[in-house]
Structure 1
Amino acid sequence: MSKNTHSFQAEVAQLLHLVTHSLYSNKEIFLRELISNASDACDKLRFEALDNAALYEDAPNLEVRVAFDKKARTLSITDNGIGLSQQEAIDHLGTIAKSGTREFMSRLSGDQKADAQLIGQFGVGFYSGFIVADRIVVESRRAGLPADQGVRWSSTGTGDFEVETITREKRGTSVILHLREDAEEFLNGWKLKQVISKYSDHISLPILMEKEEWKEGEDDKGGEMVATGEWEPVNKASALWTRAKKDVTEEQYVEFYKSISHDYEAPLAWSHNRVEGSTEYTQLLYIPAKAPMDLWNRDHKGGLKLYVKRVFIMDEAEALLPSYLRFVKGVIDSADLPLNVSRELLQESRDVKAIREGSTKRVLSMLEDLAKKATAAAPAAAPETPAADGVTDVVDKKEAEPAASDADAAKASEDAGKYAKFYAEFGSVLKEGLGEDFANRDRIAKLLRFASTTSDAATVSLADYKARMKDGQEAIYYITADTLAAAKNSPQLEVFKKKGIEVLLMTDRVDEWALSYLTEFDGTPLQSVAKGAVDLGKLQDETEKKAAEEAAEAFKPVLEKLKASLKDKAEDVRVTTRLVDSPACLVVQEHGMSTQLARMLKQAGQKAPEVKPVLEVNAEHPLVKKLERDEAHFDDLANILFDQALLAEGGLPEDPAAYVRRVNALLV
């Protein structure tokens, strides 16, 4: 037999250090993780055997066995699934194979609770075995390989691991944990059955343990439980999603979510339904409470687990939900798809299209329910606002009801905060749906929340805004910026603040792109305050309009000189109607690309058209008036005006050194 020693990938070594220093607050979780891995291995065998039935060898019945040996202080989890080859053992047990490894490591903070959630999100549950074990041995043989090509992997969870070739008659994998002294509670059959029932009851395979019976000690002194050699199932062995909703507890739904998502936080909401009609399927969909760390990674895979008639087909089936809902976890079990369906066939299947549409609507309904609860819990003094479905919520008269208990009040408060929690984690992703899902665009628009000039928190819906619009206001105004501070302090808001007109503040990188697909809401156009000329319509009286026209006419000679001086930087120069305190600002034409979006595209390495903005100047500002009097420094002042306007909106001058030189020259 050949034995070789290998070093762990650096990330795994750091992970193992965290685990062995009691990273997990709940030791029991290791058993859930290892049984879940065993179940996955059986699912993979079932899938590969669709094309090669010989992989079943002489054991067609798939199962997981849990056994313990008090004298040897070992706990074993054995499956007869797909198994591992020697190279697979080295690759899968010595590295974090999932994408986003670098980001995973950068997020480790030393905060045990936060780091435990990271480990769950990155799917490295095997290493949780070191919570209770000071040594782990894995013996395995891949289905289809000869008996003499088995592999034994062993490690003490420090810097390296050993791999050797063994003879193993049965396919599948045994994970043997050599338990530490503080983990002796898991050498107890009753304790193990309790943990399996709590965390793994939903596993669709039988989880078997040896029956035990009481054996009296000699001379009737003491006694102990001993194994009978007969194996019995200790779980219900029925997939949770196949059960009636009334037969599944809230705790079971939560534990099932944790097992399929490797998340350690309960989901915000879930929906369990059997859909019948031209396409029959069962859906169990979850909305997580926390975004995975690789949500924005280009290699990130989203999607649901796909089963066909309870047979596992694939993980992360992207075709079952649109990309903007890639954060949703869950299971789809179809009664109509063929067992040999591939990812390519999924893209073309009519049944899959129906499942995708139905699942999308179900997720949006869950989000609407969360949003309604948040609206219903708003303070009674707040004005009535349309709920997520466009129907105005009416708060029940509390004096007609008995006072709510403390528990009820706490539950209502928790429910009210769920949508805000969801939106903070996934709001940016949801906005992608404006451009990706035309059929549901109106529903998505009602779910969006923004900060505004009346609220720094992203709690303002488009319906809220519209309900507060001033008499005579004809548009929903918004501004996009890199940060909330930049948006709040933008000079382009000055006339809106003066007139008390609310403006939505949008600071997500996706906003500029997403809003190009949402031109109106409920019949009211959306208008960027940084595009085109400001036309406040009925909110601007005739006296103001006349004064603006006269100022533009009187300032015409200076405008012509500014245009000539800035011809390489600005498309046009005009007198502003939007500034009150600032000397100048930059805007783009009504349907042009914003300077912010152009910058973002360039930063992402994409081609972007050269955007020449329009410079608007405040003819009443002292710095602008100085242009008329200071011929000697006209060009310098003109360029300073432009560069300052560029800085105010988050950009940088093309030649920062020249800008500094001009400012210094004027200062001295």
Structure 2
Amino acid sequence: MHLPRLALAALSVFSLASTAVTAATTGSAESAHGQVPFLSPEQLAQAQGQAEKHAYQSDIARLMRVVVSHLYNDRDVFVRELLSNANDALEKVRLVSLTDSSIMAPAPSLNVSVIADAEGGRIVIRDTGIGMTKEQLEENLGTIARSGTSEFLETIESKNAEGANLIGQFGLGFYSSFLVADRVTVASKPASSSEQWVFESEANADGFQIVRDPRGPTLGRGTEITLYLKDDAKEEYLDVEKLRSLIQKHAEYNSAPIYLWTATTTTVAPGAETALVEKEEKEGDELEIEDDKEEAAESEAVPEAPHWELVNDRQPLWMRDPKQVTEEEYIDFYQKTFKSTDGPLAWSHFKGDAGSTAFRALIYIPSGVPNEFYSKDYVQLESLKLFVKRVFITNDLGANYLERHLDWIKVFIDVDDLPLNVGRDSLQKTRALAQIKRNLTKRIYDLFGQLAREDPEKFDELYTAAGTALKVGAIDDVKNRDRIVKLLRFESSAVNGTTDLDGVVSRRKQGQTQIYYIAGAGAKKAELAQSPFVERILARGYEVLYLTEPVDEMLINTVPTYGGLRFQDVAKDGVTFGDEDADEKAEDEHLTKQFQPLVSYLKQALAQFVDKITVSHRLTTSPCVVTAGTYGYSGNMERLLAAQNAGQGSDNFMLEFAKMQKKNFEINPRHPLIERLLEKVEEAGDDEDAQEELNESVAVLWQTALLKSQYQVPDPNAYFSMIESMLRRSLGVSQSAQADVDVKPAPPVETGPPPSEPPPPPAFDLEAELAAQGDEAGAAEAAGKKDSWVDWKEVRHTLKDGIVDTVKAAIPDYDTDEPTEGAYIHQEL
């Protein structure tokens, strides 16, 4: 076989390069990454005399044990957390560089590099980020009081499955290093300092040490983390293919480039080699070597020179064409960016203009609102992320950047240009951000509308979680009120479930000019459907909306009309159907004249409470009802004001004003009680007993109507006394007859000390309770099962004692003074 000198030289170069890289990865990797040599254990050992030793806080040791025990099955998370920290450090540099370019001088390139040193059993992750001073190393890595450690520990121990996500959420990602490493060093140098310091700690150590880097200021600017891997982690995580896949999985959306030191092989096919030989032979410069046809017939793996491979070479998701982004990628980006374990209901990806600058944005609708969202103290700082030229700027543009009712929506913005040398308040008021806010708000409502049209089931899920927020938005956001009202849903007599207002308008009757509704905060649809206010409306086949939320009535007062129809509270004056005729008018006049004696009597008897008494045309089965004037307060609103007053613990002017307003009283002329009451008025004359009985009947009728109309009676005790009086008269019991009760007096005052412990509550006997209720079959079943009941408290103590005995037997040094893992396990038990 003949191999040209040029090809032979190329193979020699590959061989030499491979040898050089082997040397680099075992101690002289300065050629691999900006002339930065590895920090060897020997160098650290020589500097021990100058090291400053610090003790960890009490929570640190517990934290390390909990991280290892709870996240062991998800050890890959360390790659995500360390790369995320590196990316944050780079973003800080980029942010500072926008106003101070000198910070870039020590290391102009912004990147992250990862080296798997197989011979040294370590992984080295370097970034050219902001770097840390000696004091910052101690504060950020050795002192974690400010990072929510206790809350994290409590949360992770109660929600084991979510630990991998929680560790980053609580700012404790660095400690995931100890999932795979038994020793970690962190060398760091900020641009503003000439000194480079090293933090060192072991997984089971009680403290850490900080020492001046014996290599000198080799980093220029940035941080280098070295993980000395545990034996059971070396084979898995020193595999370059494994590292590449983890980086691609966890750092795809990092804005900084991430490089992996790698050496791959290229397979050379026989045809390719022959073509090369023939080409060189034609040049007449050939070197004769031994021919081996059998080897030439087989493909050969030729090693490439080790090199830096850009792993996250894809464009950030928000910079790509939405048509080229998959659903899985959108969901993954949402979960990583906003630290959520749930997927979003919907999203919108778009670009727009804001005056003289352009921006790109992603809007996500979460699957629900935070539990504390409706609290007045709610502040959500993770709902919005602002980038400028792919540099993270802030997640806090103030509480009112997005409208309060939209603050649960997740928004990602990347703006081409913004002034950054101003404070947050000034930044929020810039013309560009104001225009972006308007654009975002419009897009959010468009997304809601799209979801309602294209996926009603998902919109119902959204509305169940956030419907109240939208109603608040319709009240507060005047500019977008029409958009929001179209999205609102209400329970209705005409449909199962809920309806939008467009549906109500489409189902209106001929001549109908009103949308009828009844409000009852906290009531169910079935309860409101039994109200006397809706009797005739439902009987005639008209649709009624049931407003069951406290905010509903305030909302309707803010939005008086929709689709050409006016909202009408059926508990107030003014209900019309639009099809009234002369015959109905004549009948009303006749009934009014017929019942005039009763109306006159009621006006006199209820003058203190009633402004107007009329013969009703809204009732069918109820004898009477109490209504409010057109501008008065309904019973539902009065109850809401009373609840608000109770919560404030102070006088409520609006409530007192509402109580002072006189009501309207409507009577049903076709109801037997009203007909009989008319007869009683006509028969009573000057008979004092008859007048007294009549007055009592009217008072009971009036106050019962108050209750049925959702109002409160002025004096509940007086009302119940009147009910009792009527029952006595009905049953023939004397009004003066009293209960014959022998009351045993209490013993003298106790002069001794109080008991040290309260007596135990009486034992609950299910068998006796069921027997007392007449459930003989249930009592018999309970008696049959009594022998099988278990004292679970005793069982728990037995199990615990058994586990502790097992731990003691398995750990020889359990009873020594030195703290051990066994003692920790016992403590946790």
TM > 0.5: yes
Q: How does 1:392-407 map to 2 (within 5 A)?
A: none
Once the two structures are TM-superposed, the CA of residue 467 in structure 1 deviates from its matched residue by 0.6
Q: How does 1:251-266 map to 2 (within 5 A)?
A: 251-266=328-343
More strand by share: 1
Taking structure 1 as reference, are residues 654 and 47 closer, same or farther at Cα in structure 2, changes over 3 Å only?
A: farther
Q: Out of 604-613 and 89-98, give the one that drifted further.
A: 89-98
Give the conservation status (yes or no) of the 8 Å contact 1:473–1:537: yes
Give the Cα separation in 2 of the matches to 1:93 and 1:331.
25
Taking structure 1 as reference, are residues 86 and 27 closer, same or farther at Cα in structure 2, changes over 3 Å only?
A: closer
Which residue of structure 1 lines up, in the alignment, with residue 247 of structure 2?
Answer: 196
Give the Cα separation in 1 of the matches to 2:158 and 2:90.
35
Q: How does 1:46-65 map to 2 (within 5 A)?
A: 46-47=94-95, 58-59=106-107, 61-65=109-113
Which residue of structure 1 lines up, in the alignment, with residue 145 of structure 2?
Answer: 91
Q: Amino acid of the residue matched to residue 260 of structure 2?
A: M
Which residue of structure 2 lines up, in the alignment, with residue 314 of structure 1?
Answer: 394
**What whole-Å deviation, never above 9, does each CA across 1:241-286 have from its counterpart, x for those lacking one?**
1223344333222211112221222222222222247342222222
Give the conservation status (yes or no) of the 8 Å contact 2:185–2:198: no
More helix by share: 2
Matched, 1:470 2:522: no
Give the Cα separation in 1 of the matches to 2:536 and 2:445.
37
Matched, 1:482 2:533: no
Once the two structures are TM-superposed, the CA of residue 90 in structure 1 deviates from its matched residue by 1.9
Which residue of structure 2 lines up, in the alignment, with residue 340 of structure 1?
Answer: 421
Q: Amino acid of the residue matched to residue 599 of structure 2?
A: K
Give the Cα separation in 2 of the matches to 1:499 and 1:109.
60
The one of 179, 190, 215 aligned to 1:133: 179
Which residue of structure 1 lines up, in the alignment, with residue 566 of structure 2?
Answer: 525
Once the two structures are TM-superposed, the CA of residue 474 in structure 1 deviates from its matched residue by 0.8
Using the aligned pairs only, state the percent identity.
28
The one of 262, 268, 278 aligned to 2:355: 278
Q: Amino acid of the residue matched to residue 512 of structure 1?
A: E
The one of 585, 590, 602 aligned to 1:559: 602
Q: How does 1:583-662 map to 2 (within 5 A)?
A: 583-593=623-633, 594-599=637-642, 601-602=644-645, 605=648, 607=652, 609-610=654-655, 611-612=658-659, 614-620=663-669, 621=671, 629=680, 631-632=691-692, 641=701, 644=704, 647-648=707-708, 655-662=715-722
Q: Which runs of 5+ in 2 are unaligned?
A: 1-52, 214-220, 266-302, 681-689, 729-829
The one of 74, 87, 109 aligned to 1:39: 87
Once the two structures are TM-superposed, the CA of residue 192 in structure 1 deviates from its matched residue by 3.6
Give the conservation status (yes or no) of the 8 Å contact 1:142–1:150: no
Give the conservation status (yes or no) of the 8 Å contact 1:152–1:163: no
The one of 426, 431, 439 aligned to 1:358: 439
Q: Amino acid of the residue matched to residue 495 of structure 1?
A: R
Q: Out of 524-533 and 86-95, give the one that drifted further.
A: 86-95
Taking structure 1 as reference, are residues 134 and 92 closer, same or farther at Cα in structure 2, changes over 3 Å only?
A: farther
Matched, 1:249 2:326: yes
Q: Out of 191-200 and 466-475, give the one that drifted further.
A: 191-200
Give the Cα separation in 1 of the matches to 2:231 and 2:579.
77
Q: Which runs of 5+ in 1 are unaligned?
A: 215-225, 374-414
Taking structure 1 as reference, are residues 559 and 342 closer, same or farther at Cα in structure 2, changes over 3 Å only?
A: farther
**What whole-Å deviation, never above 9, does each CA across 1:414-445 have from its counterpart, x for those lacking one?**
x4422222222222212233233333322222
Taking structure 1 as reference, are residues 634 and 454 closer, same or farther at Cα in structure 2, changes over 3 Å only?
A: same
Give the conservation status (yes or no) of the 8 Å contact 1:210–1:232: yes
**What whole-Å deviation, never above 9, does each CA across 1:138-166 have from its counterpart, x for those lacking one?**
9697967896998778888xxxx966563
**What whole-Å deviation, never above 9, does each CA across 1:7-41 have from its counterpart, x for those lacking one?**
489xx99xx979965799x8766754664454345
Once the two structures are TM-superposed, the CA of residue 457 in structure 1 deviates from its matched residue by 2.1
Taking structure 1 as reference, are residues 73 and 524 closer, same or farther at Cα in structure 2, changes over 3 Å only?
A: farther
Which residue of structure 2 lines up, in the alignment, with residue 404 of structure 1?
Answer: none
Q: How does 1:128-277 map to 2 (within 5 A)?
A: 133=179, 166-167=210-211, 188-212=239-263, 231-236=308-313, 238-276=315-353
Q: Amino acid of the residue matched to residue 499 of structure 1?
A: R
Give the Cα separation in 1 of the matches to 2:176 and 2:718.
61
Q: How does 1:540-551 map to 2 (within 5 A)?
A: 541-542=584-585, 545-546=588-589, 549-550=592-593
Once the two structures are TM-superposed, the CA of residue 193 in structure 1 deviates from its matched residue by 2.6
Per the alignment, in what secondary structure is the counterpart of residue 454 of structure 1?
A: coil
Matched, 1:304 2:356: no
Give the Cα separation in 2 of the matches to 1:643 and 1:179.
80
Taking structure 1 as reference, are residues 134 and 232 closer, same or farther at Cα in structure 2, changes over 3 Å only?
A: closer
Larger Rg: 2
Give the Cα separation in 2 of the matches to 1:118 and 1:490.
51
Taking structure 1 as reference, are residues 571 and 341 closer, same or farther at Cα in structure 2, changes over 3 Å only?
A: farther
Per the alignment, in what secondary structure is the counterpart of residue 478 of structure 1?
A: strand
Which residue of structure 2 lines up, in the alignment, with residue 217 of structure 1?
Answer: none
Structural RMSD (CA): 4.9
Per the alignment, in what secondary structure is the counterpart of residue 422 of structure 1?
A: helix
Matched, 1:449 2:489: yes
Taking structure 1 as reference, are residues 141 and 129 closer, same or farther at Cα in structure 2, changes over 3 Å only?
A: closer
Q: Amino acid of the residue matched to residue 282 of structure 1?
A: R
Which residue of structure 2 lines up, in the alignment, with residue 372 of structure 1?
Answer: 453
Taking structure 1 as reference, are residues 166 and 8 closer, same or farther at Cα in structure 2, changes over 3 Å only?
A: closer
Give the Cα separation in 1 of the matches to 2:201 and 2:580.
76
Per the alignment, in what secondary structure is the counterpart of residue 549 of structure 2?
A: coil
Give the Cα separation in 2 of the matches to 1:424 and 1:117.
30
TM-score (norm 1): 0.73
**What whole-Å deviation, never above 9, does each CA across 1:525-563 have from its counterpart, x for those lacking one?**
122223334333326843664466447634313432453
Once the two structures are TM-superposed, the CA of residue 609 in structure 1 deviates from its matched residue by 0.4
Give the Cα separation in 2 of the matches to 1:76 and 1:638.
90
Give the Cα separation in 1 of the matches to 2:667 and 2:519.
22
Per the alignment, in what secondary structure is the counterpart of residue 516 of structure 1?
A: helix
Per the alignment, in what secondary structure is the counterpart of residue 210 of structure 1?
A: strand
The one of 440, 443, 461 aligned to 1:421: 461
Taking structure 1 as reference, are residues 435 and 94 closer, same or farther at Cα in structure 2, changes over 3 Å only?
A: closer
Per the alignment, in what secondary structure is the counterpart of residue 433 of structure 1?
A: helix
Once the two structures are TM-superposed, the CA of residue 239 in structure 1 deviates from its matched residue by 3.0
Give the conservation status (yes or no) of the 8 Å contact 1:288–1:329: yes
Taking structure 1 as reference, are residues 539 and 497 closer, same or farther at Cα in structure 2, changes over 3 Å only?
A: farther
Which residue of structure 1 lines up, in the alignment, with residue 576 of structure 2?
Answer: 535
Give the conservation status (yes or no) of the 8 Å contact 1:304–1:320: no
Taking structure 1 as reference, are residues 584 and 272 closer, same or farther at Cα in structure 2, changes over 3 Å only?
A: same
Give the Cα separation in 1 of the matches to 2:541 and 2:72.
52
Give the conservation status (yes or no) of the 8 Å contact 1:602–1:608: no
TM-score (norm 2): 0.60
Give the Cα separation in 2 of the matches to 1:457 and 1:199.
43
Matched, 1:6 2:46: no
